[in-house]
Each structure stands twice: as C-alpha cells, then as structure tokens.
Amino acid sequence: MTKIEWAMEQIKLLIEQKKLLEGSRVPSVRQYAKQLDCSVSTIVEAYARLVSTGVLESRVGAGYYVRKNSNTNPLLAEHTIEYSREVDPLWISRQSLDAHDNMLKPGCGWLPKEWLPEQTLRKALKLVAKSESHFLLDYSTPHGHADLRRYIARKREAYDVHLNLQQILISDSATHSIDLIFRNLLQAGDYIIIDDPCYFNFRALAKAHRLNCIAVPFGKYGPEIEAFKHALQFQPKLYLTNSGIHNPTGATLSMQTAFEIAKLAEQNGLMIVEDDIFAELEYFHAPRYLTLLGLKQVIQIGSFTKTLSAAVRCGYIIAQEAMIDQLIDLNIATHFNTSHLNAEIIYQTLTDSSYIRHIEWIKKQLQKHMMATVKQLATLDIHPIAMPKAGMFLWCQLPAHIDAAELSKSCLANGIILAPGNSFSQAKNAHQFMRFNVAQCIDKKVYDVLVTCLNAQKILHAG
C-alpha cells in the first residue's frame, strides 16, 4: 500500500466509524498532512482520488466534504439477480457469468483462471505499458493489428493454407466474428445448418438474427451425411460448425466425413463457417474445411479466449478479401473499431516463449483431469458417449430417468452450475445428456452435490 492509499483508507475509516459524518467538512489538506505526518502532496493526491471515487466532494474555495450517500448509497450496491428463467440457449451463459466466486462451474465453457498464463499476461501488460503510444491511444486500421494478422496467417501454414494479410480481420471475439458474418450474408428467415448438439450460443445467435436452423445430428466422426444431404433441400445459406475439437461432444471430425461434407458444400455452393477456437488444445491436427475448400467456400473464425484470457477480448475472421472489405464496413457502422490495445496485449503474450510452454502444460492437465473425471462420473453411472481425443469437454449420458434440466436446477440451488443437454440441442432430444468441463470438475464437492441431487431425483421418480 502506498502512502496515498493509506491516507485514503484513513479517511474511509473515519467515515465508516461515523467520526466524519455525511456532508461534514474533512480536515484541510495542510491540517491532515500534519496529523498523518505526510507530505502535503500526498494528501492532495489522496483527496483528489477520494473525489473521483465518489467518497468526498470538492467545493471550490471551501475545501472537501464527505459526499452524501457516498458509499452507503443502497442504489449503488451491486445486486445479484435471481433467475427463474427456463433452460434456454442463454441459460448456461447467464448462470456462469453471474456466478459467485464460491460457486462451482462444471457446466461452463472455459478453463479456471488458475489455468491461464497469468504471469505471461502480466509481463505482456507491463511491456505494453511502455510500448508505442499508438497501441495505447489510437484506433487501429480497419483490418486491425498487422503483426497479429501475420501471426494468424503463419499459424494457418500448418493447415496448408496460405493467406495474405487482407484476408484477415481482427474482431472482438469469436462470437462477434460470427455475428458480423451473419449480418453480412444472411437475412431474417434464412435457413442455416447447425450441428445437433452444438455450442448453445450458436443457437442464441441464430435466434437473435431470426434465422431458421436445420439441425443435423453430430456423431463421433462429424455430421451425419444422410441428414446433411436432407438438410440441403431447404437451400441453407451456410453451415456453422466447430472445427477441430467439437463443442459440446469433444468429437473430432474424421477425414472421410470432412471430405463428404466438403464435396456436398462444393456441389451446392454452401458456405461453411468454421469456428476454430479450440485449435491450441489439439494433440493431433484434425481436418479443416478451410484446407479442403479454401476461402471460396469457407470462412474461418477464432479467438484467444480459451487458452489466454477471457478479459482481453480479441478474435478474428479469415475470408476472401472482398468479403473482409464488406465486413469492415459493417464493423465500422456497428462497432466502429476493435481494441488495438487488446490486440497488442494478445500479440505480446502469444509471442512470449513461455506461452507455448504454458499451452503444453494446459494440455497435460486436461489429459490428466479428463481421465479422473471419467472415472468419477462412472461411479455415478454417468458416461461419455465417446472419449474425446483432446479438449475440455465430455458429452455424457445420465442414468436412466434422470432429466438434465431438472438436475441442473437442483444442482444450481446447491451452488453447482451444470450444462444441460437441451441447451445444445435444436431438436430438444438431449434431455438425458450433460456437458462436463473436466477442468472445472476437480473439486470433490461437484460429485457430492451430484450424488445428492441424483438421488433426490431418483426418489422423486420412484415415488
């Protein structure tokens, strides 16, 4: 604590103890400096900060006063909102984002913050604090951070994809990327193909755009070919999917399936939007539609949220130059610009050598906890449909007669946030399924609460 912070604390303490009352004058700067044995400039700064944080107010020529209702104002208290909402595509997001720190979140879609490369990120922030002023103050060019685009282009060389920098647009997040693409290519009422199950927010996005979703069952090797062919009869405008590790099933697209879907897409002029956000967590490189079909037929999107930070928002879109140009116009109109600072922080973190080591560490941790979670869940008669090759998700079948939504609601009341199957399912046929994030299933309490709630449901069902 600096001297300034200490002096601020002293004033706050006097207010708390009612030794300084609301509306009363606080000691003059000189008086108080003497009293605390500080320099005058320390108290000047402390008072100024107390004014900007709303504790004191300054009256010109008359000194400083305790602000009315400053921090005790009940209006300015943060309330937790109680949701009674039904399990819809936004249920898991709202619960997870609004959760208290002491809640456990086996249903959420991200790694615990202890798993993220905190020290590398802090180092990057310090570096950026000293870097060129345009990263701190300026808008970025419409395409976004050039070095970060170069990094993204180089990463694609591993997929045999050779991009130029004008084929990449930096966005705010993977979700923002899809939103821009939808706005550019689709109109309300259009049909799109999604996987069933798929990432629940794809469904929320489609709803926000008033689209018609055709859900194609997604199995162990990718979408079911016959169902996909059937879906094409509706003349869908695009197919939105996770490449690499699939959310929520953890499945990996097989080369045969990728080839079949790619041929169908080509024959039918169907655009594929490929969300690549889990790429860093792969052990073996799964096929990508972008590799097979190129930019004429595929738009790839991604972000750095899963392995770097959820607080530093940054994503990207890879598409043909002409489309990127349209997306830029749309981004200016609806968002004006993306955060140049965030892109620079991300770039500095990615290019620090410790980042690669950290990813290796994360992958090892995931493998270890994947095994442990499968074992623990088996004791509750909860089993994954298939064993994922990589990633954080297990798509599990619950014991007979257990409803995922009911179980999620009762676990929520006990401080555990789950991810019930129907949030992921357009066809609503996943009420017996649950997605578990193995990185969020370490605490024993998860299983204790699950046992209790499962038993309560079984008794209810038996009764």
Taking CB under 8 A as the criterion, which residues in 129-148 touch a second copy? 129-130, 133-142, 146-147
Look up residue 241 and give its two tokens.
């999917």
Among 335, 383, 428, 445, binds a second copy (CB under 8 A): 335
Q: Smallest distance from the beta carbon of 353 to a second copy, in angstroms?
A: 3
Q: Smallest distance from the beta carbon of 407 to a second copy, in angstroms?
A: 23
Query: Between β-strands 238-242 and 191-196, what pairing exists: parallel, antiparallel or unpaired?
Result: parallel
Among 179, 190, 196, 275, binds a second copy (CB under 8 A): 179
Task: Using alpha carbons, select from 326, 270, 317 the residue that is nearest to residue 293.
Answer: 270
Check binding of 22 to a second copy (CB under 8 A): no
Query: Between β-strands 238-242 and 222-223, what pairing exists: parallel, antiparallel or unpaired?
Result: unpaired
DSSP for 172-217, please give it: S-HHHHHHHHHHHH--TT-EEEEEES--HHHHHHHHHTTPEEEEEE
Which CB, 126 or 368, lies closer to a second copy?
126
At what angle are helices 91-98 and 200-208 packed, to 10 degrees? 110
Q: Which residue has the tokens 């002293």?
A: 10
With beta carbons less than 8 A apart as the criterion, state whether 367 and 388 touch: no
Cα 284–Cα 285–Cα 291 angle in degrees, nearest 5: 165
Q: How many residues bind a second copy (CB under 8 A)?
A: 92
Among 42, 175, 243, 257, binds a second copy (CB under 8 A): 175
CA distances, 418 to each of 275, 396, 415, 428 (Å): 23, 12, 10, 17
Which CB, 334 or 452, lies closer to a second copy?
334
Q: Smallest distance from the beta carbon of 235 to a second copy, in angstroms?
A: 21
Which CB, 62 or 400, lies closer to a second copy?
62
Q: Which of residues 349-408 bind a second copy (CB under 8 A)?
A: 350-353, 355-356
3-class DSSP state of 273: strand
Task: Using alpha carbons, select from 223, 215, 271 the residue that is nearest to residue 246.
Answer: 223
Q: Smallest distance from the beta carbon of 128 to a second copy, in angstroms?
A: 6
Check binding of 1 to a second copy (CB under 8 A): no
User: What are the CB-based long-range contacts (under 8 Å, 24+) for 406-409?
Assistant: 406/457, 407/434, 407/450, 407/453, 407/454, 407/457, 408/87, 408/91, 408/107, 408/434, 409/87
Check binding of 79 to a second copy (CB under 8 A): yes
Check binding of 153 to a second copy (CB under 8 A): yes
Q: Which of residues 245-284 bind a second copy (CB under 8 A)?
A: none
Check binding of 63 to a second copy (CB under 8 A): no
3-class DSSP state of 19: coil
Which CB, 65 or 151, lies closer to a second copy?
151
3-class DSSP state of 145: coil
**What's the rounded Cα separation, in Å, for the pair 166 and 149?**
9
**What's the rounded Cα separation, in Å, for the pair 352 and 45?**
37
Q: Is the dihedral of CA 124, 128, 134, 136 positive or negative?
A: positive
Stretch that binds a second copy, among 47-55, 229-237, 364-372, 451-459 (CB under 8 A): 47-55
Which CB, 97 or 460, lies closer to a second copy?
97
Q: Which of residues 81-140 bind a second copy (CB under 8 A)?
A: 81, 89-90, 93-94, 97-98, 110, 113, 116, 118, 121-122, 125-126, 128-130, 133-140
Q: Which of residues 411-440 bind a second copy (CB under 8 A)?
A: none
Among 246, 306, 313, 435, binds a second copy (CB under 8 A): 313
Which CB, 30 or 154, lies closer to a second copy?
154
Among 340, 358, 369, 431, binds a second copy (CB under 8 A): 340
Which CB, 114 or 444, lies closer to a second copy?
114
Which CB, 243 or 339, lies closer to a second copy?
339
Check binding of 285 to a second copy (CB under 8 A): no
**What's the rounded Cα separation, in Å, for the pair 281 and 246?**
11
Which CB, 80 or 267, lies closer to a second copy?
80
Among 42, 201, 241, 410, binds a second copy (CB under 8 A): 201
Among 334, 367, 379, 455, binds a second copy (CB under 8 A): 334
Stretch that binds a second copy, among 204-212, 232-240, 384-392, 428-436 (CB under 8 A): 204-212
Query: Between β-strands 56-59 and 63-66, what pairing exists: parallel, antiparallel or unpaired?
Result: antiparallel
Which CB, 141 or 455, lies closer to a second copy?
141
